[in-house]
């Protein structure tokens, strides 16, 4: 270590400058030399006075290099600024005539009109789809009776090593955190087993992947808490069941106070794409329970009451009510036929006193016509 002294370091620095080394290269090499002499000093390989002399030379050389670099950068920046300032003060006379400016203005107007047209066509008046789908996707309608759950996990052996070979897995849904009966079972077994990546990570869409059947939507709408249980291979159920977050407002979005749209009992009726209100329940009915009001069925055109097959049409007035057939108005003045609660039929009267009571102010209250009748024939016996 006798060669490590201030003369040697000075010669080394001079040699670097003589070779034309870049300032950044010289700084890196001097930093390496500084670390080396620090290491030597810690092991008492060089004396303390020599260490201080060498370190002072290195520090002074680094300061000189930094000063030169800053000076060079300032000069370069000043030159660029002066050149830019000089260029910005140059004026070039244009030989454009008035016709060139008119053409430029016309081009600007055309571009403005074109931009306004594009904005109106594609942004301002664009046809937006309605918020509801063409087909219903809620419980009670086939398009929305199934759900899926995205599940991700990592398979490892007892030593924590990732498992990346195909593995049988079974997914089950419960409404309790322990025990209970599975509400849904989705197997990924055999050729449809789960294949994790090299880190043991796997992703499964429960209710879709591995040929699983869809998860019934009623599981989420009828159970406030749903838990997912996972079984791997022949092992018992893994650890704690994972609770599936069941957002209340998301459930209510497909029901009305808990009742889903549909055509069965305890469903909200809806009008289908053909404009029909369908009721598929046994013995359905439409009833008004407001005692002091009249229930009206009205149409802008004709109203048709129709039965299918051999079904009957029954018009029934309960208790002391009557059946009234009116034309031309909504009061008893326009009642043409009335059947009271005793079975008497009145035509032209609202108070029939016999089984068939006909009343008309003008003559000829009843007329029986046969197109083949002879003179004076009114009634013909079947006998």
Which of 30-34, 69-73, 335-339, 348-352 bottoms out in mean pLDDT, i.e. has the lowest? 69-73
Residue 372, pLDDT > 70, answer: no
Q: How many Å apart are CA 228 and CA 147, to the nearest integer?
A: 14
Helix (H, G, I), strand (E, B) or coil at 69: helix
pLDDT band for 38, please (50, 70, 90 cuts). Answer: confident
Q: Please say whether the beta carbons of 220 and 246 come within 8 A.
A: yes
pLDDT band for 189, please (50, 70, 90 cuts). Answer: very high
pLDDT band for 85, please (50, 70, 90 cuts). Answer: very low
pLDDT band for 6, please (50, 70, 90 cuts). Answer: confident
Q: How many Å apart are CA 158 and CA 276, to the nearest integer?
A: 62
Q: What is the pLDDT of residue 206?
A: 93
Domain 142-252, CATH:
2.60.40
pLDDT band for 141, please (50, 70, 90 cuts). Answer: very low
The dihedral through the CA atoms of 344, 346, 352, 353 has a sign that is: negative
Q: What is the pLDDT of residue 247?
A: 62
Q: DSSP state, 209?
A: G
Residue 139, pLDDT > 50, answer: no
Radius of gyration of the chain (CA): 49
| Pure H helices in the chain | 6-18, 23-42, 48-88, 98-119, 218-221, 248-252
Q: What is the pLDDT of residue 217?
A: 81
Residue with tokens 């997914």: 171
Residues pairing with 147 in the sheet: 215
pLDDT band for 143, please (50, 70, 90 cuts). Answer: very low
Q: Please say whether the beta carbons of 245 and 251 come within 8 A.
A: no
Helix (H, G, I), strand (E, B) or coil at 216: strand
- Please give the C-alpha separations between residue 83 and each of 86, 89, 231, in angstroms, as whole numbers: 5, 10, 75
Q: To 5 degrees, how large is the angle CA 229–CA 231–CA 236?
A: 105
- Percent of the chain's residues with pLDDT above 90: 20
Which of 18-27, 186-195, 371-380 bottoms out in mean pLDDT, i.e. has the lowest? 371-380
Question: Which range scores top for mean pLDDT: 40-44, 247-251, 330-334?
Answer: 330-334
Task: Report the run of H or E that residue 227 belongs to, with start and end.
Answer: strand 226-232
Q: DSSP state, 256?
A: B
Residue with tokens 């800053």: 70
Mean pLDDT of 350-359: 90
Residue with tokens 């003369």: 7
Strands 242-244 and 345-347, sheet pairing = unpaired
Q: Please say whether the beta carbons of 244 and 265 come within 8 A.
A: no
Region of 257 on the Ramachandran plot (φ > 0 left; ψ -120 to 50 alpha; else beta): left
Q: What is the pLDDT of residue 1?
A: 60
Q: What is the pLDDT of residue 31?
A: 84
- Please give the C-alpha separations between residue 257 and each of 140, 246, 266, in angstroms, as whole numbers: 15, 16, 11
Residue 174, pLDDT > 70, answer: yes
Q: What is the pLDDT of residue 294?
A: 80
Q: Please say whether the beta carbons of 349 and 338 come within 8 A.
A: yes
Mean pLDDT in the chain? 79
Threshold 0.95, pTM exceeds: no
The dihedral through the CA atoms of 370, 376, 381, 383 has a sign that is: negative
Residue 315, pLDDT > 50, answer: yes
pLDDT band for 77, please (50, 70, 90 cuts). Answer: low
Which of 96-100, 167-171, 211-215 bottoms out in mean pLDDT, i.e. has the lowest? 96-100
Q: Please say whether the beta carbons of 253 and 269 come within 8 A.
A: no
pLDDT band for 375, please (50, 70, 90 cuts). Answer: low
């Amino acid at each position: 270590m006798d060669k490590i002294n201030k003369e040697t370091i000075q010669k080394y620095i001079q040699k670097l400058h003589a070779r034309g080394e870049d300032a950044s290269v010289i700084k890196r090499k001097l930093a390496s030399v500084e670390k080396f002499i620090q290491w030597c000093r810690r092991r008492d390989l060089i004396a303390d006075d020599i260490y201080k002399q060498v370190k002072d030379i290195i520090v002074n050389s680094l300061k000189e290099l930094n000063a030169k670099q800053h000076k060079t950068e300032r000069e370069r920046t000043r030159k660029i600024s002066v050149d830019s300032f000089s260029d910005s003060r140059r004026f070039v006379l244009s030989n454009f005539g008035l016709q060139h400016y008119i053409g430029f203005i016309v081009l600007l107007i055309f571009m403005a009109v074109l931009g306004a047209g594009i904005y109106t066509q594609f942004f301002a008046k664009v046809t937006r789809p309605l918020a509801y789908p063409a087909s219903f996707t809620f419980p009670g309608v086939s398009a929305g009776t199934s759900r899926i759950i995205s599940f991700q996990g990592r398979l490892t052996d007892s030593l924590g090593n990732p498992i990346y070979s195909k593995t049988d897995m079974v997914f089950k849904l419960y409404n309790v955190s322990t025990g209970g009966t599975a509400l849904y079972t989705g197997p990924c077994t055999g050729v449809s087993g789960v294949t994790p990546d090299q880190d043991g990570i796997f992703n499964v869409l429960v209710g879709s992947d591995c040929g699983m059947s869809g998860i019934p939507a009623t599981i989420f709408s009828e159970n406030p808490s749903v838990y997912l249980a996972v079984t791997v291979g022949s092992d018992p159920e893994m650890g704690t069941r994972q609770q599936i977050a069941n957002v209340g407002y998301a459930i209510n979005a497909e029901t009305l106070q808990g009742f889903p749209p549909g055509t069965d009992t305890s469903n909200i009726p809806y009008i289908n794409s053909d404009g029909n209100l369908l009721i598929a329940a046994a013995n359905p009915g439409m009833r008004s329970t407001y005692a002091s009001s009249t229930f009206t069925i009205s149409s802008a055109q004709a109203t048709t009451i129709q039965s299918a097959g051999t079904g009957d049409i029954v018009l029934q007035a309960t208790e002391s009510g009557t059946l009234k057939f009116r034309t031309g108005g909504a009061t008893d003045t326009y009642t043409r036929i009335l059947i009271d609660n005793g079975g008497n039929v009145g035509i032209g009267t609202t108070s029939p006193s016999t089984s068939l009571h006909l009343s008309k102010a003008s003559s000829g209250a009843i007329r029986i016509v046969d197109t083949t009748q002879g003179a004076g024939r009114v009634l013909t016996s079947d006998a």
